[in-house]
A = this chain, B = another copy of it.
Amino acid sequence: MTPMTSFDRSQPVGVFDSGLGGLTVLHECLVTLPHEDFVYFGDTGHFPYGGRTPEELTAFSFEMAEQLLREGAKLIVVACNTATAAALPALRAEYAGHVEVIGVISPEARQAGEATRNGRVGLLATEATVASGAYERALAEVAPDATLVPVACPGLAPLIQREGLIDQLVVDEVEQACEPLREADVDTVILGCTHYPLVRAVIQRALGRGVRIVTSGHAIADDVDRALQAAGLANDQTRRGGYRFLCSGDPESFRRMGTRFLQLPLGEVRHVEVAATRELVAARSEGRP
């Protein structure tokens, strides 16, 4: 672990993800907290995370968290469902007392638990996220009487990641995914993958107007705000913050595709390796002091 000194409120918030999807989370943070600085790290060199082992995912996550701490992060956001499910407890244990780590899943589950009136909450997510059962556990904590109706959408994130436009393929995929949610009469749906807010309009039309959609981005931005306030680390609200990017893949491709996810200009994008060696993976899986 990087030795910790006390943080200054002028330091940036660090955000990491398997690639580009977490930029929809960063988008909400930038809109909600325009006075904070952000550093985003996308592990585009290892995207997608779907087929990785928990050990690999934990090793990648620690690599990125350490890099963000070297960049001066005062708080770390895991803006990836797969990495949150695999590594959040380990990250929190490692950095306890030093730096707060906020992940997806719990914030959306809390918002969904508060929003539902009929106790039936839908989930759209990748196969890995659905299989992890993480949303069931998170929802049970905040709304024990609520029922989660999870739907795995293996094809949707790749369709959205294409450079193409929102087309009939996307609509068909969304319609198919929403069919069981309509049949289950859910009144609230969690978008459990950070790619999905890019097709939110398609999803809302498929679900119908009465259904409330909860996204990771909006829920996390609130949590980041609360955490910074509570720690006395919130920056001066009258200033204008900045943001910059690290990625483990091709920076030019990150810049070209990223604007669509961020809906803001991408500025500096720097290449940084995420080198999770076998030794590192082994060390992580054996546990660290």
Q: A residues near B, CB below 8 A?
A: 27, 30-35, 165-168, 170-171, 201-202, 204-206, 208-209, 237, 240, 259-260, 263-265
Contact = CB atoms under 8 A, between A and B. Distances in A.
B170 A265 contact: yes
A32 B264 CA distance: 25
Contact of A264 (B34, B35, B201): B201
A166 B262 CA distance: 10
Contacts of A35: 208-209
A209 B259 CA distance: 21
A264 B31 contact: no
A252 B61 CA distance: 45
Listed residue (A35, A168, A204, A263) with the most chain B CB atoms within 10 angstroms of its CB: A263
Contacts of A167: 265
B259 A32 contact: no
A265 B27 contact: no
Given A208-B34, A208-B237, A209-B33, A168 B201 contact: no
